[in-house]
Amino acid sequence: MIDKKNLMSEADFEALLDEFNSTPKEGYVAKATVINEDKNMVTVDLGLKTEAYIPRREFGADAVKKGDIVDVYVERYEGPDGNVIASRDKARREEAWVNLEKKIAGEETIEGVVMERVRGGFIVDLYGVLAFMPGSQADLRPLHNPDDLIGKTQNYKILKMDHARSNVIVSHRAIMEDQQADQRREMMQNIKIGDALTGTVKNITDYGVFVDLGGIDGLLHVTDLSWKRISHPKELLAVGDEVKVKVIAYDAETQRISLGMKQLEEDPWKDLINTFNVGDQLTGKVSNITDYGVFVELSNGVEGLVHVSEMSWTKKNTHPSKIVELGQEVKVQVLEIDSEKRRLSLGIKQTQENPWAQFAASHEVGQEVEGEIKNITEFGLFVTVATDLDGMVHIGDLDWDVAGEEAIKEYKAGDKIKAKILEISVEKERISLGVKQLKEDRVGEAIDEIKKGDIITCTIKEVEENGLVVDAKGLNGYIARMDLARERSEQRTDRFAADEKIDAIVLSVSKKDRKVKLSVKALEINEEKKMMKEYGSTESGAALADILGAAIAEKKEDK
């Protein structure tokens, strides 16, 4: 049976429920009344005679007095001293989070202030909530001076938000990319090839310049900066310069725009054909020096190349920088005009007297000259025969009898020698000289008198193991061991002695080596064939003794 006396009335129950709901809960913000304050601590009443002590510094510069109602964050009940642990700072942060969530509800961006620079990025204040912005999300391109962002107010896009962990990551770059994309789309819809635009130099590279056209970038290639040749874009432009450009190409799909500066000016090559002719001699300024030649500017935007081979008649292996200087005025001759390839070939040496032609006009082949040895190489001597003009004596033209490799050892640079002109070639720019031609070539004359098949009486000069060195009419001759006799048993060099005379037939004559090759064996065979023919013997098996016997008998009868 229910005791009605002890039953709680409905009004009492509602009062008790209101009292429970009004009790501050852990992890939430609650209203509290300031009941005491001093310079170090503020005491607040959370209701139900529940008090909390909060450090005065958490209230910052706010004026606090007894009776004020303030928001505090209830961390937990019954701390070490039996009181509630509460925080004014955390209450502010919770309030800031609530305001932040309300602010970004339905919005894509939010305003914030860069507070400080930290490792890897920046701390941004978003209405009391501190967020992290990675350095890569600060701008479209790396910042030159990141500290310039400190204190700057700008819009941000929230990339990540975690209330439980108080973690917010934002990006300003994302907003810039969206704006740039919109601007690019709008601009690309209206842009046309041939449009003249004004932009700002944003970046400079070795191959060209990136120009900001107002939210969209275009590339100004180094070849489209000027009609004249430049080595680097920095010669004409600097970052931040305002430039006028012309749209020369664009791709709507890739949104790439190619720009030109020189296209806003008249092409100086248009009038070149009517201005210059091959053979014209002009004056220009050296604008660039390379290993292969120099560029000479003839007028604004028109340059020609003087190849290293066309710079000097005589300085063949000299670097162009040793002949002319940058900025020097030089006289040139037009050698070739290629309007399609926009190439102009020039020559410097053609404006000067040709020393090779001058030498040819004052000298002739066979004439004797005297000069100083300028250089010695493995293939000959270079002898100065006129101012800056050298002739060459090949090692084969040093001596008639001594090998060139040995003969050249007798000479040294600086020696003065006499030589005979063997050839003058203006086209090949070459003068050939000879020293041995100054003397009579007795050996050469002797070689001309000897022919293959001649029978010569030789004098043995030296007996070697493999043959005999002989004197054949004043020439060096040689009889190999196998050519000493027909019979193998007689092919011995010890049968012979120096100064002994011997008949042999000429096998070959070498004018180059100035040597004669001879054979006793071949002579014996020829004589045998001659006897067989004379005595009518055609049988291959006929005995040599029978033939010789008949010949001896005939000679006896003659006597």
| pTM more than 0.95 | no
Q: Taking each helix axis from N to C terminus, what angle separates 544-558 and 520-534, rounded to the nearest 10 degrees?
A: 70
pLDDT, tens digit, for every residue of 376-426? 999 899 999 888 888 999 998 888 778 888 889 999 999 999 999 999 998
Question: Of the ranges 15-24, 357-366, 473-482, which one carries the lowest mean pLDDT score?
Answer: 15-24
Q: For residue 518, what pLDDT is reported?
A: 92
How many whole angstroms separate alpha carbon 33 and alpha carbon 524?
148
Q: What is the pLDDT of residues 219-277, one digit of tens each?
A: 999 988 888 778 889 988 999 899 999 999 888 777 788 999 988 888 777 777 678 88
> 28-106 with 355-438: one CATH topology?
yes
pLDDT on residue 431: 92
Q: Which CATH class is domain 272-351?
A: mainly beta
CATH class belonging to 28-106: mainly beta
Token reading at 94:
């919770």
Q: Are strands 217-221 and 256-260 parallel, antiparallel or unpaired?
A: parallel
Q: What is the pLDDT of residue 20?
A: 43
In this predicted structure, the answer to whether residue 540 has a pLDDT above a threshold of 50 is no
Half-sphere exposure of residue 311: CA atoms within 13 angstroms, side-chain side: 25
**Can you give the length of the chain in residues?**
559
Tokens read off for 252: 């709507």
Mean pLDDT, to the nearest integer, of 489-500? 90
pLDDT for residue 88:
67
CATH H-level superfamily of 107-176: Nucleic acid-binding proteins (2.40.50.140)
- The residue assigned the tokens 């005297």 is 370
CA dist., res. 429 & res. 316, Å (int): 11
Task: Reply yes or no on domain 191-264 having CATH 2.40.50.140.
Answer: yes
pLDDT digits (tens, 9 = 90+) for 204-233: 999 999 998 877 788 999 988 888 778 889
Structure tokens at 329: 């005025």
Determine the pLDDT at residue 313: 86
Please report the beta strands in 225-301, taking only residues with DSSP state E, as ranges in sequence order.
242-251, 256-260, 281-290, 293-299
Residue 358 has pLDDT above 60, yes or no: yes
Instruction: Name every residue whose Cβ is closer than 8 Å to that of residue 203 and which is 6 or more positions away in sequence.
Output: 141, 209, 210, 239
Domain ranges of the chain: 28-106, 107-176, 191-264, 272-351, 355-438, 449-534
Q: Which residue in this structure is represented by tokens 């969206």?
A: 178
Whether residue 107 is predicted with pLDDT greater than 70 in this model: the reply is no
Q: How far are the Cα atoms of 243, 250, 263, 330, 377 from residue 194, in angstroms, in the given order?
A: 16, 10, 9, 39, 62
What pLDDT does residue 2 have? 46
Q: In the predicted model, what is the mean pLDDT of residues 532-552?
A: 56
Nearest CA-CA partner of 324 in 346, 344, 302: 346
Specify whether the CB–CB gap between 519 and 479 falls below 8 A.
yes
Instruction: Inform me whether the pLDDT recorded for 468 exceeds 70.
Output: yes
Residue with tokens 């962990």: 165
Right CATH for 355-438 from 2.40.50.140, 3.40.50.10440, 1.10.760.10, 2.60.40.10: 2.40.50.140
| pLDDT number for residue 8 | 54
Tell which wins on pLDDT, 367 or 33: 367
CATH number of the 449-534 domain: 2.40.50.140
> Residue 538 pLDDT more than 60?
no
DSSP 426-481: TTTTEEEEESGGGS--HHHHHHHH--TT-EEEEEEEEEETTEEEEEETTEEEEEEG
